[in-house]
């Protein structure tokens, strides 16, 4: 009997809440409503040529930002630095130490350090006059690309530039100004790859010697079940620390661009 009355009380309370929600729906929903901002993109009629130019500039800026990683890899020192760091980690046999995030972070800041003079020239010659309405977008590109081209010409090998000129069936240029940028960029990239691999080979030589000595010693002692890397890894890390490896490596990388 007691359970019956409890069940009737629950049904009555539920019916009362349902009736209140039907009679006063606005108050119930008003309490549950959460203010959420509405974001929208509208198309309005331009009031003048300046509005159209501003819209095109924003679109161009968004396009450049989307291509920023490819631009950084293609026309800066980042490729060489990243490959050299990968070689040194493999030479030390440390697998994932230092982590990729640390290595790439250091590579990015070294790239900024090396490219700082070029970036300053681009800013002073192209970006700042453009935002001051002193030059147009075409002139900004022509002024801004010149310091970058000079940097790439200093690092690119002549044989690589000649390769792409030959592949593109272009005439022999009389000077650097006649070399198209779309020829210079891939020539610069393969030159960077070649230089990075040369540095990587030089980094591998002392650590390979340590691996050979450890492997020969273990073999002569008859210890064939112990992996040589377990002995050579601490020795290579100690050697790298004793010669102040990160200091020397950074010094040589930066000087290789001068």
Q: In this predicted structure, what is the pLDDT of residue 180?
A: 85
Q: Is the pLDDT of residue 39 over 80?
A: no
Query: Who wins on pLDDT, 65 or 164?
Result: 164
Structure confidence at residue 54 as a pLDDT band (50, 70, 90)? low
Residue tagged 């970058």 (tokens): 148
What is the tens place of the pLDDT at every residue in 100-153? 888 888 888 888 898 888 888 888 887 788 777 777 777 887 888 888 888 888
Query: Who wins on pLDDT, 56 or 240?
Result: 240
- pTM value is 0.69
Q: Which positions ≥6 away from 29 have C-beta within 8 Å?
A: none
Of 91, 131, 41, 117, the residue nearest 249 (C-alpha) = 91
Query: Who wins on pLDDT, 29 or 97?
Result: 97
Q: Is the pLDDT of residue 13 over 80?
A: no
Q: Which of 100-104, 175-179, 192-196 has the highest mean pLDDT?
A: 192-196
Q: Is the pLDDT of residue 2 over 50?
A: no
Cα–Cα distance, 125 to 129 (Å, whole number):
7
Cis peptide before 125 (omega within 30 of 0): no
Residue 88, CB half-sphere, CA atoms under 13 Å: how many? 22
Structure confidence at residue 229 as a pLDDT band (50, 70, 90)? low
The distance between the two most distant Cα atoms of the chain, rounded to a whole number of Å, is: 108
Structure confidence at residue 228 as a pLDDT band (50, 70, 90)? low
Q: Is the pLDDT of residue 163 over 80?
A: yes
Q: What are phi and psi of 256, to 5 degrees?
A: -70, -15
């Amino acid at each position: 009997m007691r359970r019956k009355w409890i069940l009737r009380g629950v049904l009555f309370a539920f019916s009362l809440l349902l009736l209140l929600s039907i009679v006063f729906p606005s108050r119930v929903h008003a309490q549950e409503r959460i203010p959420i901002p509405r974001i929208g993109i509208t198309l309005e009629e331009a009031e003048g040529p300046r509005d159209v130019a501003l819209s095109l500039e924003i679109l161009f800026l968004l396009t450049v930002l989307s291509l920023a990683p490819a631009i950084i890899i293609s026309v800066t020192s980042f490729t060489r630095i990243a490959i050299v760091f990968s070689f040194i980690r493999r030479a030390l046999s440390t697998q994932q130490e230092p982590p990729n995030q640390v290595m790439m972070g250091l590579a990015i800041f070294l790239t900024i350090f090396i490219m700082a003079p070029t970036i300053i020239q681009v800013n002073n010659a192209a970006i700042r006059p453009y935002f001051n309405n002193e030059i147009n977008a075409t002139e900004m590109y022509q002024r801004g690309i010149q310091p970058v081209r000079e940097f790439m010409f200093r690092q690119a090998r002549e044989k690589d530039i000649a390769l792409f000129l030959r592949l593109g069936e272009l005439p022999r240029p009389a000077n650097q100004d006649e070399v198209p940028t779309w020829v210079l960029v891939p020539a610069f990239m393969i030159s960077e790859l070649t230089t990075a691999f040369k540095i990587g080979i030089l980094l591998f030589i002392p650590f390979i010697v340590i691996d050979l000595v450890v492997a020969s010693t273990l073999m002569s002692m008859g210890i064939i079940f112990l992996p040589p890397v377990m002995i050579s890894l601490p020795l290579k890390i100690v050697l790298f620390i004793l010669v102040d490896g990160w200091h020397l490596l950074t010094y040589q990388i930066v000087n290789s661009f001068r």
